[in-house]
Amino acid sequence: GICGLILAIYNRSLQQTFQEYKAEVDVYDAVVEALQENGEEKIDVIKLSETPGKLEQLAKKFFAAKPGLRERAEKQILVMIEAFEKELAEGKITLDLFTQEELALPFQRLQAEFGEPFSQVQPSEEMRQRVMDAIRQAINEMMTPERFRRLYKDVQSTAKTWLRERKKWAAALQGELIWLDEERYEENKFVIAAFLGQITRLGSEQKLVQKQTKHNV
């Protein structure tokens, strides 16, 4: 998936992502040149992302010709994805992958455990850890093969839309598909970050509605 990510990044003019080694080699031009040698006159990032076989052949060709380039590219891409997951978990990126019923599951479980509304439980480091454990458990339980395939398709569709619209995090979301491309769900930082981000944004929206309602009264 590295070649596809490089193309996606450059597709929205993010050359600065590769500034660390751009003085040594123009990565994008190397990819474009290799594509043109293989008969690709027009570079369509979305179309290329749907042909992993072609990208794999391309990767072998130009990474073999430029030793050390793959390691540097992977390092930069991981930095980008970590930044993406951080903002996603903080609710700064709109990405709705779960229903409100699914978002409520871990808190319903904690409420049943404590015997009182979760909102009345005193915050602490121990409570934070218990909430995270409840979220992980809820996601693991809800991610049946069918539900996971639906989530994967949702991420795939959103990634294509973001690429077309040249959204800031399009390449990062495209990168997350590399770790989701399996038949069954395994605990995944991106999925947990998306769940946390939705909860955060939902909480902020509810507070805003309550504030506006109070103001109107």
| pLDDT score for 136 | 95
Distance CA 201, CA 197 (A): 6
CB atoms within 10 A of CB 178: 14
194: nearest Cα among 135, 122, 118, 114: 135
Distance CA 27, CA 59 (A): 12
Which residues does 198 contact at the CB level (< 8 Å), separation at least 6? 91, 95, 96, 97, 98, 103
Q: Is 61 exposed, middle or buried (0-12, 13-18, 19+ CB in 10 A)?
A: middle
Which residues does 49 contact at the CB level (< 8 Å), separation at least 6? 4, 8, 55, 159, 160, 163, 174
Separation of first and last alpha carbons in the chain: 54
Q: Cα dihedral angle (142, 152, 197, 214), rounded to 10 degrees?
A: -80
Query: Whole-prediction pTM value?
Result: 0.74
Residue 46 near residue 163 (C-beta atoms within 8 A): yes
Tokens 């309602």, located at residue? 213
Q: List per-residue pLDDT tens for the chain, 217 residues long.
A: 455 555 555 444 444 444 443 433 455 566 666 666 766 666 566 666 666 666 677 667 767 766 676 776 777 778 888 999 999 999 999 999 999 999 999 988 888 877 766 666 667 787 788 889 999 999 999 999 999 999 999 999 998 898 888 788 888 898 898 888 777 899 999 999 999 999 999 877 655 434 444 444 4
Q: Is 31 exposed, middle or buried (0-12, 13-18, 19+ CB in 10 A)?
A: buried
CB atoms within 10 A of CB 25: 15
Residue 185 near residue 143 (C-beta atoms within 8 A): yes
| pLDDT score for 188 | 93
| pLDDT score for 27 | 56
